[in-house]
Structure formats: structure tokens, C-alpha cells
Amino acid sequence: MKTSQGFPSGPQAALLFLALFLCEFVIAVALRDANRWLGLNDMQLGVLAAVLGNGCVFAGVMHFQQLTYRELFHQSPASARATLVLIVPPVLLLVPGLMVVVVTAMNLLVWVAPLSAWEESMFSRMADGSVAATLAVCVMAPLLEEMLFRGIVLRGFLQRYSRWQAILGSALLFGVAHMNIYQFLVGLVLGTVLGWLYERTRSLIPCIALHAAYNTGTVFLNDLPETISAADAALALLAIVLATVCGALALRHMLVAPIARRPAP
């Protein structure tokens, strides 16, 4: 295990999430009191409260760590442009495969533990097609969650714990933070992939791209026809498998093989 130099540790990360939750709650209450002047709906109020709450927490943590936004988003020796051009395209090829894996696991989970009426209502609001819901799910959640869970939490964990302890620990916290068993499962799977990607690249650019593409795919998945022919389903599955394999091989070539070839210190 590594020496405990980074912030946060596991308990500190839990306190950080509590502080974020309290900030968002207080701001949401204040916004609701002022909503007769703002005229926002519930989803719009939630997005605004999340942005302001995260802004308060990020400002405090980054001041405490003396961390700039440039360092937070990209601390890789490779340039941001190279990361965007070389790493992001194969990362995006992984998205359809991830969606198949997660949707299959979710269907099994829902079969074992059916959604409550409140949970069905919550997920319906998240994918209702409104501008506020789409902005929250496809833009704000990937950006803010990657800044927090990979940019701050995993960065600190990697300084304190072994590589896979840090990745799996941050993924576990990412799942728990969603506060329901269904999104916990999604967060655990997606958080593990995102954690590995951040540990390899030390950049939030591919993490935000993967997270945003996954969330966008889940939103627009509701618009697909409920029934398709067996031939179309087979072709779609073959294309997904090929894309996932190509993306995984490209990432292995760029992010795993060069590291494995480095001489031991």
C-alpha cells in the first residue's frame, strides 16, 4: 500500500460527499423559496442546485489542494490535443458494448428486485426528453461527476492506495453516491472502466467523453423501436462486438503495452 499523502482518503471522501449533498440541499431549498421570481421547473431547479453546490465544494477543495483547473482536467505528460485525437475515438467505441453489458445486468436486477413506483417516476423524469433533463444527464452529470470522482477522489486514492484498491474503491463510492441499487450497479461497472482509464491517462478528457456518450446513449435508447427482427438484432450485436474489440485493442496498444515495456526503476 502506498503512503498516505494524497487527499482525500476513504473517510475523507465520504465526508466530501456529505458536504456536497448538504450544499446541494441548502441551495435547492433556497432556490425553491426564490422560485416565484425564477419560474423554473423541478428538473431545472435540480440542475441549478447541482451546479452551484458542486461549484462551492470544488472551490473549497481546489483551494485547499492548491490545484488549478488545468491540473484537474489534464495532468498527463501527453498533450490534451493528442489525448483528444488518439484516445477518445477508441474510448467511444467501447460505449455500445458497455451499454449491452449494463442493460443486461440491469434487466436481471429488475427481474429480481422490481422498481418501486417512486423509482420508476424518478427514472422517467431523467429521460423525459426535456432540455433540462437532457442537459443534466448528458452534460452536467458527466462533467461534474468526473471532476469529483476521478479528478479529486481517484487522484487522491492513487496516492494513498494500490492501483486496483484506488480504482475499485472510487468505483464503489461512485455507485453508492447514486443512492439506489440500480444506479449503484451502473456506477460500479462504469466507475471501474472510468477509473482504469483515468489511471492510465491521468486526464479527465477521455473519462468525460465516455461518461457523456454512455449517458447520451441511455437517453436516446428509449427512442429505439421495442421490437426488431432477429437478423437486425444479430447484425447490431455483431457490430457492437466488433466496435468494442477494436476499441479495447487500440487502448491496450496505446495505454497498456507501452507501460509494460518500460524498464523497471
Would you say residue 189 lies in a domain?
Answer: yes
Cell digits for 200?
492510465
Which residues touch 92 (CB under 8 Å, ≥6 apart)? 209, 210, 213, 247
Q: How confident is the model at residue 263 (pLDDT cuts 50, 70, 90)?
A: very low
pLDDT of 1 strictly over 90: no
Sort 166 into a burial class: Cβ within 10 Å, 0-12 / 13-18 / 19+. buried
Q: Is residue 160 part of a domain?
A: yes
pLDDT at 264: 44
Q: If you average pLDDT over residues 204-226, what whole number do you get? A: 85
Q: Report the pLDDT averaged over residues 188-208.
A: 96
Strand partners, 74: 203
- pLDDT tens digits along 29-51: 888 877 777 676 776 777 778 88
Within a domain: residue 79? Answer: yes
Q: What range defines the domain where residue 159 resides?
A: 10-260
For the segment 20-31, what is each residue's pLDDT rounded down to a tens digit? 889 888 888 888
- Residue with grid cell 493528442, as numbered in its chain: 82
pLDDT value at position 224?
A: 62
Asked if residue 5 is part of any domain, the answer here is: no
Please state, in angstroms and rounded to a whole number, the distance separating the CA atoms of residues 37 and 23: 21
Question: Which pLDDT band holds residue 204 (cuts at 50, 70, 90)?
Answer: very high
Which of 61, 65, 213 lies closest to 141, judged by CA?
A: 213
pLDDT range class, residue 258, cuts 50, 70, 90: low
Biggest CA pair distance of the chain: 64
- The pLDDT value recorded for residue 128 is 64
Distance CA 186, CA 126 (A): 15
The model's pTM: 0.88
Residues in the chain: 265
- Express as a percent the part of the chain with pLDDT over 90: 40
Greatest mean pLDDT among 1-10, 69-78, 175-184 lies in 69-78
| Residue-wise pLDDT tens digits, 53-74 | 888 888 888 888 888 888 899 9
Whether residue 144 lies inside any domain: the answer is yes
Q: Is residue 265 part of a domain?
A: no
211, 186 Cβ separation under 8 angstroms: no
Contacts of residue 136, Cβ cutoff 8 Å, sequence gap at least 6: 43, 46, 47, 50, 126
* Range name among 117-126, 179-188, 232-241, 256-265 with the lowest pLDDT average: 256-265
Residues 243-253: pLDDT tens digits? 999 999 999 99
Count of domains for the chain = 1
